[in-house]
Amino acid sequence: MSFLKQLLTPFVEFEEDKKKQPAQVNKPAANPTPPTTPAKSAASPVSPAIPPADENAQHPLINGSAPVVNTPTQVPTYAPGGTLTGSLPEHEQYFERLIDEANAKNPLFQGTDYKEFVDSKVDIDDIQDEAIKYRTAYNILKSTGLTKEKLLSTGQEYLNLIGRDLNAFQSAHSQQYQKEVRQKEQLIQKKAEELQALTQKINALKAEINQVTQDINITKDKLNTTKNSFLLAGEKKQKEIQTELQKIAQYF
């Protein structure tokens, strides 16, 4: 049961509450708003810059300390340009848990704050006019100590909370990328350079083989020409002598 419904229960009977007892409020009573950390710009609550790799960077999703939640398997879908079209359910649930835990444990969010305000609007979804819905939820929660200043300041603190978590994730992810991807990329680059050197060596050896083959063919041609010419000359001289010997035998 939301915070707003708990406030209205003594006066309004909700249909779903007819079947069950109303839950108790888990949050502490409203306290004066504690000092907030410097707010980030509302126009850019999340820094897009990827922090440099930090060998000591930690994040529960990277280091395996986040609780395991069974969620329906969803295959990531990508636009034609290769951009992810939507976040995965487990990551959306991670930030829901992050806000819930901060809301329950962090003294900065004691009492009624931005989260209770947003959750309370669910109970008045039948109000179509958005402005009336916002004012109704705010006016009811004012009795718990909620002020516009606290609503805005705690909302900004939730933005800051998510921003810090995103930065921590990017640092840990960068470190993981360096260990699991960059080293292998460097190994591939080294192997590619070795392959290029071997390819150049093979091409050089091929060129040398071709040159030596040409030299062998030229030498073989010269040697064969000399051999054949010499044999022909010897046979020719033998025939001349034989002819002379025949004539001598004939005439003497």
Nearest to 2 by CA among 22, 29, 28, 30: 22
Residue 62: per-residue pLDDT: 87
Nearest to 34 by CA among 111, 97, 101: 111
Residue 19: per-residue pLDDT: 45
152 occurs within a structural domain = yes
Domain of 186 in residue numbering reads as 3-68+88-199
C-beta atoms surrounding 153 within 10 Å: 19
pTM of the predicted model as reported, rounded to 2 decimal places: 0.58
53 occurs within a structural domain = yes
97 occurs within a structural domain = yes
205 occurs within a structural domain = no
210 occurs within a structural domain = no
Residue 43: per-residue pLDDT: 36
Residue 158: per-residue pLDDT: 97
Rg value, the chain, Cα: 44
Residue 184: per-residue pLDDT: 92
184 occurs within a structural domain = yes
pLDDT, averaged in runs of 10, over the chain (252 residues): 55 45 42 39 41 70 68 78 91 95 94 94 89 94 94 96 96 90 93 97 97 97 97 97 95 92
Domain count, the chain: 1
241 occurs within a structural domain = no
37 occurs within a structural domain = yes
| 198 and 73 Cβ atoms separated by less than 8 Å | no
